[in-house]
């Protein structure tokens, strides 16, 4: 099990706490320190079973200033997230071939 985590995000910290309380073994990936590649993001999107745009934090200034209102292909959205990791929703928990966005953090319980 793995959590893609941003320690500065309250929802991400809450998600991490849920995993810690569950006593399962998991790895923490601080994706702002260790950015995801385009390949990593494609794999996450597939495990989440969503379109890449659904993984984007659309209220981030980077998105609003550079991408909002533009017609972007899935590849372009993935590239934007790879180049700007702050755009990726958080936390994301991966377990085997499934993943979930922990918003609200209680959703993480369903994947444990």
Tens digits of per-residue pLDDT, 23-76?
999 999 999 999 999 999 999 999 999 999 999 999 999 999 999 999 999 999
User: In the block, which residue shows the tokens 């099990």?
Assistant: 1
93, 2 contact by CB (below 8 A) = yes
91, 3 contact by CB (below 8 A) = yes
**Known active-site residue 9:** yes
pLDDT bracket for residue 110 (50, 70, 90): very high
Q: Which of 2, 4, 7, 9 is catalytic?
A: 9
pLDDT at position 42, please?
A: 98
pLDDT at position 81, please?
A: 98
Percent of the chain topping pLDDT 90 = 100
CATH superfamily for 2-111 is: Glutaredoxin (3.40.30.10)
16, 3 contact by CB (below 8 A) = yes
pLDDT bracket for residue 90 (50, 70, 90): very high
Q: Give the residue-averaged pLDDT of 11-32.
A: 97
């Amino acid at each position: 099990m793995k959590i893609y985590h941003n320690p500065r995000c309250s929802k991400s910290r809450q998600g991490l706490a849920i995993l810690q309380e569950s006593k399962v073994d998991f790895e923490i990936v601080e994706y702002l320190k260790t950015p995801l590649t385009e390949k990593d993001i494609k794999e996450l999107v597939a495990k989440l079973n969503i379109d890449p745009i659904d993984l984007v934090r659309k209220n981030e200034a980077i998105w609003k200033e550079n991408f909002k209102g533009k017609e972007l292909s899935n590849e372009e959205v993935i590239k934007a997230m790879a180049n700007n990791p702050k755009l990726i929703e958080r936390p994301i928990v991966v377990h085997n071939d499934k993943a979930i966005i922990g918003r609200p953090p209680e959703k993480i319980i369903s994947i444990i």
